[in-house]
């Protein structure tokens, strides 16, 4: 089931005729103007047919590509130091939840470790086997990971406690100085006579971390082997040297020790494919290499495909790029990350997206040399401990929240500079579509899958995640939706949005139900005036016909019988998703009364409401309203609900649900402009047809799943059009 739907706990069941809840699509958006920051939007719903209009995107699960390993960043010494020393325990727990929890955060599951110091260190420059001048330690008797114990290991413990799927990659910046040609961790090169000792050094690190409960999944032999920094640890490592190390030392050593850590070649920029190809072309070295690691500071992402196409049995990992004050525009960064990493990286065979520092402070510190204006995934204020989620956080979250480890990229078309996409299928069968609109204008696109489609208008310069359960993996309607709690964030077809008077007035009950085991109970406390209710929404296009079917029951005891209370059922229309009721984005409504004080008690009474989406509508909202104008109290139950677009009748040119003479008049008046002679034949062949009956409509309309158990939100006002999505930054605090 989808990660966000794991948040759904107990719920009432509105078990529906031909319910297909797998057609509901969760939507999450980050917009370049920051108005939405990984914010959950109103669900959209797959409709039958391939649809028409908009930019067409086809998702094809029969086309499969690489397996995804994960998303994350580097737990540098600097990042770990901030997490452990600049945050109080409550702040630290919140930050770690935000980063690593699948339920309360973005679920990062892959971390890269610098083996020893990099330029981002709060503890000076160090390796795990530092010696004095002119000293050597061939057996590495003095090897120790003690420098990592104060901050890095506790941070990894906290991350793993929140995400059992956590994987680790390790990359050394430098060998110990005594192994190098210049005797220093800065500059120089690994001396040939110490190749064997260096292999032992890497092996001891892997074994030491495993003993601490943190197995190393992947390892590169040298960070950025074609760059030799002059102010912080690093060393050059030509391809010929890396080949020798892999095939004659590290590879055989790891194999003999039974280590499962996979070796990756290169670990440098996209602008050089000759280096990794040289390693992979060596017939012995390639036996020990699982894939290639790339950075994104030069070249372009297509380099990943060059290497992968030459060696399709080897994986591609993206392991580093950083944001910073040198790139200060949020929307530009958002688009770059989506285009080049989340979408472009995956479409070019990338199995990971790993950024540089997980956390830095407001000054881009701590650091010793190198980048002085880098930005972390989060910023930790060094004085107050306040945490800021940066564009890197939201970008990673669009994938990490939904694309599970072991997911497989599946087919989807992507249209550069229009709607750019990538799609995945998770191990549990759920599917995910990431979409980017890099243009300055909103764009309508249409996603087609297995003979069904949904349409969505993607805001200008925005990134969206669309996630849905596979047809055989629906997370409700199968008994699993009866267990525990409530999805409080709303905005999801499996978590109704309650609103109105504060009290236990919108909840579920198993005392009486029309179908399934639960029904929606609406009530009002005696002596209090106001309104209560619950709502759901679907995306629509102007002119589409909609239908709600629902049944109401007034219980024999404690009902609204004899009062002036009412239960209303409405369809509200909005020109934006999550619009406010009676705001400029509210386009109107259609409404019927389900029950009054004169309605008979003790029996389920069925009702239906038809509507047509007006011009400009993108959202239609089903709303149940409990109106209590005089404080007389009482209750009513609602069940047997379905809501969705009703297929248009062929020949029903005026969309009134009946094919009759009135449609002939519409055809005649539009002949030569809107209609042709062939349309007359369609009208004649279907004359007398009507919309499906209520029972048939239940089968054709998109069904609404059960509301979740809830306490009521505050406000004794007409406020049922409240916004249901919250930015992650708000939800997580």
pLDDT at 640: 79
Question: Which tops the pLDDT comparison, 514 or 252?
Answer: 252
Tokens 């109106």, residue located: 627
Tell whether 688 is covered by a domain.
no
CA trace torsion 135, 140, 146, 152 (10° rounding): 110
Query: In the chain, what percentage of residues exceed pLDDT 90?
Result: 63
Consecutive H or E run containing 125? none
- Residue length, the chain? 733
53 and 75 co-located in one domain: no
Question: Which tops the pLDDT comparison, 34 or 684?
Answer: 34
> Apex CA 312: angle with CA 310 and CA 313, to 5°?
125
pLDDT at 31: 97
Residue 499's pLDDT band, with cuts at 50, 70 and 90, is: low
Q: What is the DSSP letter of 557?
A: S
394 and 533 co-located in one domain: no
| Cα gap 528→73, rounded to integer Å | 53
pLDDT at 14: 28
Highest mean pLDDT among 51-65, 529-543, 665-679, 703-717: 51-65
Tell whether 540 is covered by a domain.
yes
Query: 650, 660 in Cβ contact below 8 A?
Result: no
Query: 165, 72 in Cβ contact below 8 A?
Result: no
CA trace torsion 533, 536, 541, 544 (10° rounding): -70
Range of 160's domain?
A: 70-405
340 to 43, 296, 436: CA distances (angstroms): 27, 9, 11
Our count of domains for the chain comes to: 3
Tokens 């008994």, residue located: 479
Tokens 């120089």, residue located: 188
335 and 441 co-located in one domain: no
Q: For residue 342, is pLDDT > 80?
A: yes
359 and 235 co-located in one domain: yes
Segments of 79-132 assigned E as strands: 110-115
pLDDT at 707: 36
**What does the pLDDT look like over 349-407, one tens digit per residue?**
999 999 999 999 999 999 999 999 999 999 999 999 999 999 999 999 999 999 999 99
57 and 151 co-located in one domain: no
Instruction: Report the candidate in 234, 204, 233, 232 with the shortest Cα–Cα distance to residue 219.
Output: 204
Structure tokens at 727: 């930015």
Question: HSE-up of 392 (CA within 13 Å, CB side)?
Answer: 29
60 and 93 co-located in one domain: no
pLDDT at 583: 86
| Cα gap 97→729, rounded to integer Å | 12
Q: For residue 507, is pLDDT > 70?
A: no
Name 538's bridge partners: 620
Residue 134's pLDDT band, with cuts at 50, 70 and 90, is: very high
Backbone angles phi, psi at 567, to 5 degrees: -115, 120
Q: For residue 1, is pLDDT > 60?
A: no
117 and 31 co-located in one domain: no
| Cα gap 709→12, rounded to integer Å | 7
**What does the pLDDT look like over 422-481, one tens digit per residue?**
999 999 889 999 999 999 999 999 999 998 999 999 999 999 999 998 643 323 222 222
Strand, helix or coil for residue 272 = coil
> pTM of the predicted model, to two decimals?
0.70
Lowest mean pLDDT among 14-23, 253-262, 507-516: 14-23
Residue 517's pLDDT band, with cuts at 50, 70 and 90, is: low
Tell whether 366 is covered by a domain.
yes
Question: Which tops the pLDDT comparison, 593 or 51?
Answer: 593
62 and 119 co-located in one domain: no
217 and 197 co-located in one domain: yes
Name 639's bridge partners: 551
Query: In the chain, what percentage of residues exceed pLDDT 70?
Result: 84
pLDDT at 501: 54
Residue 122's pLDDT band, with cuts at 50, 70 and 90, is: very high
Residue 647's pLDDT band, with cuts at 50, 70 and 90, is: low
Residue 171's pLDDT band, with cuts at 50, 70 and 90, is: very high
Q: What is the DSSP letter of 73?
A: E
Sign of the CA dihedral running 46, 50, 56, 60 = positive
pLDDT at 487: 28
CA trace torsion 149, 155, 158, 164 (10° rounding): -100
Q: Which residues of 405-432 are buried (b: 16+ CB within 10 A; e: fewer)?
A: bebbbbebebeeeebbbbbbbbeeebbb
pLDDT at 516: 64
Q: For residue 315, is pLDDT > 50?
A: yes
Question: Which tops the pLDDT comparison, 524 or 194?
Answer: 194
51 and 81 co-located in one domain: no
Question: Which tops the pLDDT comparison, 311 or 700?
Answer: 311
CATH of the domain at 181: 3.20.20.80
Tell whether 663 is covered by a domain.
no
pLDDT at 542: 86
Query: 390, 97 in Cβ contact below 8 A?
Result: no
Q: Establish whether the linkage from the previous residue to 645 is cis, with ω within 30° of 0.
A: no
Tell whether 321 is covered by a domain.
yes
Mean pLDDT of 243-267: 98
Lowest mean pLDDT among 275-279, 347-351, 467-471, 516-520: 516-520
Query: 292, 312 in Cβ contact below 8 A?
Result: no
Instruction: Report the candidate in 356, 342, 317, 325 with the shortest Cα–Cα distance to residue 30.
Output: 342
114 to 125, 223, 320, 565, 587: CA distances (angstroms): 12, 9, 12, 66, 56
Q: For residue 200, is pLDDT > 80?
A: yes
Please identify, among 384, 405, 426, the residue that sits at the C-terminal boundary of a domain: 405
The DSSP secondary structure of 472-500, one letter per residue, reads: GG-SSSSSGGGSS---TT--BTTB-EEEE
Tell whether 58 is covered by a domain.
yes
> Apex CA 430: angle with CA 424 and CA 434, to 5°?
40
Q: For residue 528, is pLDDT > 50?
A: yes
Mean pLDDT of 700-707: 35
Mean pLDDT of 526-537: 75
| Cα gap 184→130, rounded to integer Å | 10
146 and 199 co-located in one domain: yes
CA trace torsion 422, 425, 430, 433 (10° rounding): 0
Tokens 């369609």, residue located: 682
Name 605's bridge partners: 552
pLDDT at 694: 34
pLDDT at 532: 80
385 to 82, 88, 360: CA distances (angstroms): 9, 7, 11
- The answer for 213, left when phi > 0, alpha when psi is -120 to 50, beta otherwise, is left
**Average pLDDT of the residues of the chain:** 84
Q: For residue 570, is pLDDT > 50?
A: yes
Lowest mean pLDDT among 222-231, 370-379, 417-426, 516-525: 516-525
Mean pLDDT of 242-248: 99
54 and 136 co-located in one domain: no
Instruction: Report, in angstroms and rounded to the nearest whole number, the Rg of the chain calculated over CA atoms.
Output: 30
CATH of the domain at 520: 2.60.120.260
CATH of the domain at 48: 2.60.40.1180
Tell whether 513 is covered by a domain.
yes
Residue 500's pLDDT band, with cuts at 50, 70 and 90, is: low
| Cα gap 691→522, rounded to integer Å | 31
CB atoms within 10 A of CB 673: 7
**What does the pLDDT look like over 81-120, one tens digit per residue?**
999 999 999 999 999 999 999 988 999 999 999 999 999 9
Please identify, among 365, 381, 405, the residue that sits at the C-terminal boundary of a domain: 405
Please identify, among 596, 630, 646, the residue that sits at the C-terminal boundary of a domain: 646
Q: For residue 242, is pLDDT > 60?
A: yes
Q: For residue 21, is pLDDT > 80?
A: no
| Cα gap 316→66, rounded to integer Å | 9
Tell whether 598 is covered by a domain.
yes
Query: 71, 108 in Cβ contact below 8 A?
Result: yes
pLDDT at 44: 86
């Amino acid at each position: 089931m989808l990660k966000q739907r794991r948040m759904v706990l107990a719920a009432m069941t509105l078990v529906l005729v031909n319910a297909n809840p797998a057609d509901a699509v969760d939507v999450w958006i980050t917009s370049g103007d920051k108005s939405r920051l990984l914010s959950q939007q109103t669900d959209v719903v797959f409709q039958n047919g391939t649809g028409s209009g908009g930019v067409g995107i086809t998702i094809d699960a029969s086309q499969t590509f690489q397996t995804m390993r994960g998303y994350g960043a580097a737990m540098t010494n600097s990042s770990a130091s901030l997490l452990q020393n600049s945050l109080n325990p409550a702040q630290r727990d919140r930050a770690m939840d935000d980063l690593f929890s699948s339920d309360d955060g973005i679920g990062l599951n892959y971390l890269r470790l610098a083996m020893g110091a990099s330029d981002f260190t709060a503890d000076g420059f160090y390796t795990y086997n530092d010696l004095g001048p002119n000293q050597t330690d061939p057996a590495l008797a003095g090897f120790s990971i003690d420098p990592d114990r104060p901050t890095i290991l506790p941070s990894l413990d906290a991350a793993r406690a929140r995400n059992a799927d956590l994987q680790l990659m390790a990359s050394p910046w430098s060998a110990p100085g005594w192994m190098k040609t210049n005797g220093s961790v800065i500059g120089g090169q690994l001396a040939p006579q110490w190749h064997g000792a260096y292999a032992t050094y890497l092996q001891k690190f892997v074994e030491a971390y495993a003993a601490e409960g943190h197995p190393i999944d992947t390892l590169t032999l040298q960070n950025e082997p074609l760059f030799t920094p002059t102010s912080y640890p690093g060393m050059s490592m030509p391809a010929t040297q890396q080949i020798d190390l892999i095939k004659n030392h590290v590879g055989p050593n790891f194999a003999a020790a039974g280590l499962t850590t996979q070796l990756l070649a290169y670990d440098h920029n996209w602008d050089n494919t000759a280096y990794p190809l040289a390693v992979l072309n060596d017939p012995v070295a390639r036996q020990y290499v699982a894939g290639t690691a790339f950075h994104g500071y030069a070249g372009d992402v297509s380099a990943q495909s060059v290497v992968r196409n030459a060696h399709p049995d080897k994986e591609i990992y993206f392991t580093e790029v950083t944001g910073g004050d040198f790139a200060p525009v949020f929307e530009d960064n958002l688009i770059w990350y989506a285009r080049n990493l989340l979408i472009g990286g995956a479409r070019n065979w990338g199995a990971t997206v790993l950024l540089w520092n997980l956390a830095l402070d407001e000054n881009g510190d701590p650091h010793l040399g190198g980048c002085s204006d880098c930005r972390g995934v989060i910023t930790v204020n060094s004085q107050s401990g306040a945490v800021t989620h940066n564009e890197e956080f939201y970008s990673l979250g669009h994938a990490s929240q939904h694309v599970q480890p072991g997911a497989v990229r599946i087919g989807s078309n992507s249209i550069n500079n229009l709607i750019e996409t990538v799609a995945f299928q998770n191990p549990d069968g759920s599917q995910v579509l990431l979409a980017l609109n890099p243009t300055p204008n909103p764009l309508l696109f249409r996603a087609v899958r297995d003979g069904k489609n949904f349409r969505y208008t993607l805001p200008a310069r925005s990134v969206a995640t669309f996630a849905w359960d596979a047809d055989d993996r629906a997370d409700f309607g199968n008994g699993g939706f009866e267990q525990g709690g409530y999805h409080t964030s709303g905005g999801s077809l499996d978590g109704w949005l309650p609103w109105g008077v504060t009290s236990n007035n919108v909840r579920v009950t198993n005392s009486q139900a029309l179908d399934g085991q639960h029904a929606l109970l609406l009530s009002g406390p005696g002596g209090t005036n106001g309104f209560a209710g619950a709502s759901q929404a679907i995306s629509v296009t102007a002119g589409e016909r909609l239908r709600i079917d629902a049944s109401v029951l007034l219980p024999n005891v404690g009902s609204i019988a004899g009062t002036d209370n009412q239960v209303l059922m409405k369809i509200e229309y909005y020109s934006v998703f999550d619009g406010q009721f009676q705001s400029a984005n509210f386009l109107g409504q259609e409404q019927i009364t389900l029950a009054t004080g004169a309605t008979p008690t003790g029996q389920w009474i069925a009702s239906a409401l038809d509507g047509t989406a007006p011009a400009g509508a993108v959202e239609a909202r089903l709303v149940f309203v409990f109106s209590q104008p005089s404080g007389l109290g009482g209750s009513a139950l609602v069940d047997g609900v379905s809501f969705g677009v009703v297929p248009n009748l062929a020949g029903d040119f005026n969309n009134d649900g009946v094919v009759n003479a009135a449609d002939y008049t519409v055809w005649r008046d539009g002949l030569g402009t809107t209609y042709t002679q062939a349309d007359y034949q369609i009208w004649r062949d279907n004359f007398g047809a009507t919309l499906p009956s209520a029972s048939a409509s239940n089968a054709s309309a998109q069904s609404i799943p059960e509301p979740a158990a809830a306490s009521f939100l505050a406000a004794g006002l007409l406020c049922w059009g409240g916004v249901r999505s919250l930015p992650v930054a708000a939800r997580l605090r």
